[in-house]
Structure 1
Amino acid sequence: MITKAKSSDVKEIMDIINTTVEEMKSYNNTQWDENYPQGKDFEKDIEQGDLYIEVEDGNIKGFICVNYIEPIEYSDLEWSSNEKCMVVHRMAVNSKFRNSGIGSKLMNFAEELAIKNEVKYLKTHTYSINTKMNSLFKKFNYEFVGEMNFLGKGKPFYCYEKILSENK
Structure 2
Amino acid sequence: KYILMQDILKNQMFLGEIDSKIASIFVLNQEYDEEYNNMNWQYKDMSFFIIHRLCVNPKFQNQRIGTKTMLLIEELLRSEGIETIRLDAFSLNPFALKMYEKLGYTKVGEVNWRKGLF
Deviation track 1:65-97 (CA, whole Å, cap 9, x = no partner) reads 111112211111111122221001011111111
Whose relative contact order is higher, 1 or 2, with alpha carbons under 8 Å and at least 6 apart?
2
Deviation track 1:35-69 (CA, whole Å, cap 9, x = no partner) reads xxx2x323322222221111122210111111111
Unaligned 5+ residue runs, structure 2? none
Counterpart CA distance in 2 for 1:110 and 1:141 is 14
The residue number in structure 2 matching 1:14 is none
Deviation at 1:152, TM superposition (A): 6.2
| Secondary structure in 1 matching 2:69 | helix
Q: 2, 6, 20: which is aligned to 1:58?
A: 20
Q: Does 1:120 align with 2:83?
A: yes
| Secondary structure in 1 matching 2:107 | strand
The residue number in structure 2 matching 1:143 is 106
Q: Does 1:77 align with 2:43?
A: no
The residue number in structure 1 matching 2:5 is 43
Q: 79, 87, 93: which is aligned to 2:50?
A: 87
The number of residue pairs the alignment matches comes to: 117
Letter in 2 for 1:141: G
Counterpart CA distance in 2 for 1:140 and 1:81 is 17
Letter in 2 for 1:52: F
Q: 54, 58, 63: which is aligned to 1:100?
A: 63
Identity value in percent? 26
